[in-house]
Amino acid sequence: MSSGSGDQLRLGFLAAVEDSERGVVGGLLITNRFGRPLEFQCTTPVKPNRTQQILYGPTLRPFLLAEVIGRTLVEKVSVKPHLVLVETAELLELRPHVDVPIASLFTQADADEDVGFPLGKQRLMFHGDFAEDRDQIQRRSVEVPDTADLQEPFERIREALAEALKTPMARSA
């Protein structure tokens, strides 16, 4: 890493936006522990063809979001995060394909129960098969302030993706 922050905690936020015509666009925002952006990667629109739609059926969406978009973004980004956050549990399926811990935010409905791992203002859920993720993040969780709103960067990403969808994506990385 070229930045002088050394081994400070870096968070990744992965979100996707769907456009009916052009497909799905995904974005990964890497921030420092306060939410200040360090790097942003977004994909060109990915539209599955008919064969894929039929053959994958209901597994198409998780496949697209996790394995295609999510994995590409995590691999392509140059500032590597220590933890990638997603909004829905279906994206936890990304975990077996990448090397970095993935955690999903609890939705509002589950928020009443005292489950999940607290980080900032939210609670997190990890992939079932990767229990060591939880311990690894627990050690570093003090670096994230208690008042940090982990939901907020997703809105930023969605705005950015909407903006990116507006422009013709002639430019590529």
Partner 1 sequence: MSNAAPNASPPDEALIETAHAPLSLDTDVFPAGINGALHRWSRCDAQSTPLVASPAAVAWKPHRPRVVTFGLRFPEAVAFLPPPASKEPSELRPIAPPPPDPEAGVDVPEPKRQVTRLKPPADALSLEDRLFYLLQPPLQTWLAGQELIMPFEPFPYQYEGIAWLFSHSSALLADEMGLGKTMQTITAIRLLVRSGQVRRVLLVCPKPLLPNWQREFRLWAEELPFVVVEGDTDRRKITWTMPGIPVLIANYELLVRDYAAFEDGEFPKFDLVVLDEAQRIKNRDSRTAETARALPRRRSWALTGTPIENRPEELGSLYEYLEVIPPRGTPDLKQLQCLSKQFILRRTKDLVMKDLPPRLDRDEVLELSPAQRAAYDTAEKDGVIHLNEMGDSISVQHVFELVLRLKQITNWDPLTGESAKFDRLEAEMEEIAESGGKAILFSQWTKCIDWLAERMKAYGTLVYHGGVPGKQREPILKQFKEDKNSHLLLMSYGTGAVGLNLQFAGYVFLFDRWWNPAVEDQAINRAHRIGCKSQVIVTRFICKDTIEERIDRVLREKRELFASVLGEGNNTNRSLSLNAAEIFGLFDLKARHGKGVRSIGPEVPAA
136 in Cβ contact with 124 (< 8 Å): no
The burial class, CB within 10 Å (0-12 / 13-18 / 19+), for 156 is middle
Minimum Å gap between C-beta 141 and partner 1 is 15
Decide if residue 65 touches partner 1 (CB under 8 A). Answer: no
- The binder of partner 1 chosen from 14, 40, 116, 119 (CB under 8 A): 40
103 in Cβ contact with 137 (< 8 Å): yes
| Segment interacting with partner 1, rule: CB under 8 A, options 82-90, 104-112, 127-135, 155-163 | 155-163
In the window 92-111, what residues touch partner 1 (CB under 8 A)? Answer: none
Helix (H, G, I), strand (E, B) or coil at 47: coil
Decide if residue 29 touches partner 1 (CB under 8 A). Answer: yes
- The binder of partner 1 chosen from 19, 22, 34, 96 (CB under 8 A): 34
Q: Which amino acid is at 140?
A: R
How many residues of this chain interact with partner 1, rule: CB under 8 A?
Answer: 50
Measuring CA to CA, how many Å separate 5 from each of 77, 110, 128, 131? 17, 35, 32, 28
CA distance 143 to 120: 10
Give the interface with partner 1 as residue ranges (CB under 8 A).
2-5, 29, 31, 34-44, 46, 48, 51, 55-56, 63, 67-69, 71-73, 76-79, 145, 147-149, 152-153, 156-157, 159-160, 163-164, 167, 169, 171-173
